[in-house]
Amino acid sequence: MKILLVDDEQLQLLRLENACKKVLPDAEFFSYTNPVKAFEENKDNSIDLAFLDIEMPGINGIQLAKKLKKNNPKIKIIFVTAYNEYALDAYKVRASGYITKPVNENKIQEEINELGSVIDFKPTKKLQIKCFGNFEVFHNGEPVRFFYKKSKEAFAYLVDREGSAININELNAVLWEEDHPSYLRNLIADIQYTLKSIGSEDVFVKRNNECYIDVNKVDCDAYEYKKGNPDAVRMYRGDYMSQYSWPFFDAE
């Protein structure tokens, strides 16, 4: 196995290299503090796995990962960073892992064990929905942006209910303690407009005082988990729609 290690701080790079060598003693390592040089000298190389720091001068880890993946779509990427704020960007690049500093053998081993566990959704016209960790919605690999934050939460609740028709009053009670019928109408209009703008208006269905999503028009990690998809089973680490207080995921 050929492994690329890139971190602009020499001490951090050495720490990463030492930890990786203990976990993968038979691997061949290519270590760099210069991300541009790392790409230029390995763009035609059959690198199997890359550990990339994210915050680097000249070209950051996200940009480097995109360039590496363009040349070698099969490469596995594990980001190493001191900042959690890059998690969404890492997901967009289809990273295989995400390690926060300080790096140690246990963190490296955990990510190595998880390699291959990320569900690689094939490109389709379907929405791609991520429930494990924070709830996110993607279209063609790009995050779907709702105008209101509560619109996204309302949509998350419909995803959680897996196609069951939800009464408007129930949806209101989930989002607020008091009744907000006019605001809820705005949220529904926002969901409809947002999905229509990306050609996915048929995902959301509203009939009279009920609404639901068509589960056949989305790809969702939680749905795949319940179908027994082994990749989804390995991907679940106990966090489900973690930015919201109401969800409960039955992993049994």
Architecture field, domain 127-235: Orthogonal Bundle (1.10)
Question: pLDDT class for 87, splitting at 50, 70, 90?
Answer: low
Q: Which of 44-58, 190-204, 238-252 has the largest mean confidence?
A: 190-204
Residue pair 65/93 in contact (Cβ under 8 Å)? The answer is yes
Report which of 188, 138, 161, 169 is spatially closest to residue 248, judged by C-alpha positions. Answer: 161
User: How confident is the model over 160-173, as pLDDT tens digits?
Assistant: 999 999 999 999 99
Query: Where exactly are the structural domains of the chain?
Result: 2-114, 127-235
Residue 7 contacts by C-beta under 8 Å, 6 or more apart in sequence? Answer: 13, 16, 33, 52, 53, 56, 80
What's the mean pLDDT when you consider all of the chain? 85
User: How confident is the model over 185-206, as pLDDT tens digits?
Assistant: 999 999 999 999 999 999 999 9
**Equal CATH topology for 2-114 and 127-235:** no
User: How confident is the model over 15-32, as pLDDT tens digits?
Assistant: 999 999 998 888 899 999
Cα–Cα distance, 219 to 215 (Å, whole number): 8
Residue 113 contacts by C-beta under 8 Å, 6 or more apart in sequence? Answer: none
Global confidence as pTM: 0.56
Q: Is the pLDDT assigned to residue 83 strictly greater than 70?
A: no
Residue pair 203/214 in contact (Cβ under 8 Å)? The answer is yes
Mean pLDDT within 71-90: 72
For the domain made up of 2-114, give the CATH fold.
Rossmann fold (3.40.50)
